[in-house]
Amino acid sequence: MNEVYLWTVTAVTAAVAISTLVRLWRDRDRLWQEDLHDEDRLFAWRIVIFLLYPVLTLIDLRATMVACQALGGSIPDWQYGLFWYNAVPHGLSSTQHLLLVLFVGAAVQVLLALMLVPALLFRPHPFLATVLGYATVGILALNIIVEPLLSLAGLGGSRWQVAEAVASPGQMRALMLVYATLACVFLVVSRSKSVRVWFARLSRPLVAEQLTDAQLQWKVDPQNAATNARLSILYERAGLRRHAVSHWKRLHHMYPRSIYSAFVEAMLAYRHRKYQIARRQFLYASDCPSVDPPLKGALLAAAACSAFAGGDWEGALNLSERALEFDDASLVARMVKVDVFLRTGKKEQAGEEIISALRRGFDMDLEKKIPLDADYVLHRIARLQVQERSRRALAGRVSE
């Protein structure tokens, strides 16, 4: 039964790997753009998992066989299945030699991962930098953290099962100490803000430029609500979620009931798939007194997106209809209606909505507009607040 399961995994992996190669060729023009989408980054992980990892597994197997032969042993029978391999060494003279053979493949993978880092110093294309960075982190995390933790849980691979069976308690403690040290170093480096910002500059150069500009503005005026909101959203775009949340908390502490605080919380919640919170905060922002009809329509459309993502199709339809009442040109709201109609089997109404959008001249381009265009919203909020302050100042001079 175990053999059937392993070879089934191999067949599925091979099928996904082939489809990944086909897509890599088909989308080659889009992937080499400077500004990557979230979907492109997910595809980079797919390349690492289904194309690079099988190669690394083969290298692991080959390193194990070479080390075994060099130490006077042999591996008469072995199996390789893209994601896994079975290779039990025989004829080794000592437990130390056996442990060396068992873990030499992992050591080779770690060294290969570290050898990818210098390539990032030459600032490759953002997509290539993303693949190299994900490969480095993935390989190190798998070998240094995931495998030992699975071993402690009784789900470890063959190398850990054999090691636990033959090694003395002292040898196992030394082995686990080495892995624990490497894991601590890996976690400290990978979670370092400087390292993550450096990688963001490589994989998201356009966002990194905007982030640098926002950081300079924040240093000049750290109490400015608009600057803190923009900085939080840019940190999220750059993949620095911890820093994005930290700046949102700072913003919420300074301006707890402001439209900026509600908007940023909604955007972060949506990105973290907390759709109920996102919907509630988008609605709160849309009800703020300084919101004009186009901005209110955009925020209601974002709430409709959140409702749809959360599975509330009726609520999504109602919110999209409300959004269109304030902004008839809201493409996001119309596409939410189309999605709801398709999910509820109303294909004719969905088609009519698409035809209506085309007749109105919409380009149907939703890139960076789901759940809404954050740059547009921040700019519009700032402009509306400037206009509101100007009106108040003018009213004050008139009253005098």
Residue type, 302: A
Predicted pLDDT at 364: 54
Q: Pick from 233, 208, 23, 243: which is nearest to 126 by CA?
A: 208
pLDDT value, residue 344? 79
Low-confidence ranges of the chain (pLDDT < 50): 1
Q: Quick one: tokens of 85? A: 């391999």
Residue 226, SS3 per DSSP: helix
CA angle 267, 273, 276 (to 5 degrees): 80
pLDDT at residue 340, rounded to an integer:
82
Which residues, at least 6 apart from 51, have a Cβ–Cβ distance to it below 8 Å? 17, 20, 21
3-state secondary structure of 86: strand
User: 107 vs 52, 135, 194, 238, 293, CA distance in Å?
Assistant: 17, 15, 27, 31, 60
Domains in the chain: boundaries: 2-199, 257-399
Count of beta carbons in the 10 Å neighbourhood of residue 68: 24
Centre a 10 Å sphere on the Cβ of residue 338 and count the other Cβ atoms it contains: 19
Q: Are 290 and 384 in contact (CB under 8 A)?
A: yes
Question: What's the pLDDT at 337?
Answer: 84
Say which residue the tokens 């495998």 belong to. 147
> Strands 85-87 and 78-80, how do they pair?
antiparallel
Instruction: List alpha helices for the chain, DSSP H.
Output: 2-26, 28-31, 38-47, 53-70, 95-120, 126-141, 147-152, 158-166, 169-190, 193-203, 205-220, 225-237, 241-254, 259-271, 275-286, 293-309, 313-326, 331-343, 347-359, 374-399
CATH of region 257-399: 1.25.40.10
Q: Is the pTM of this model over 0.75?
A: yes
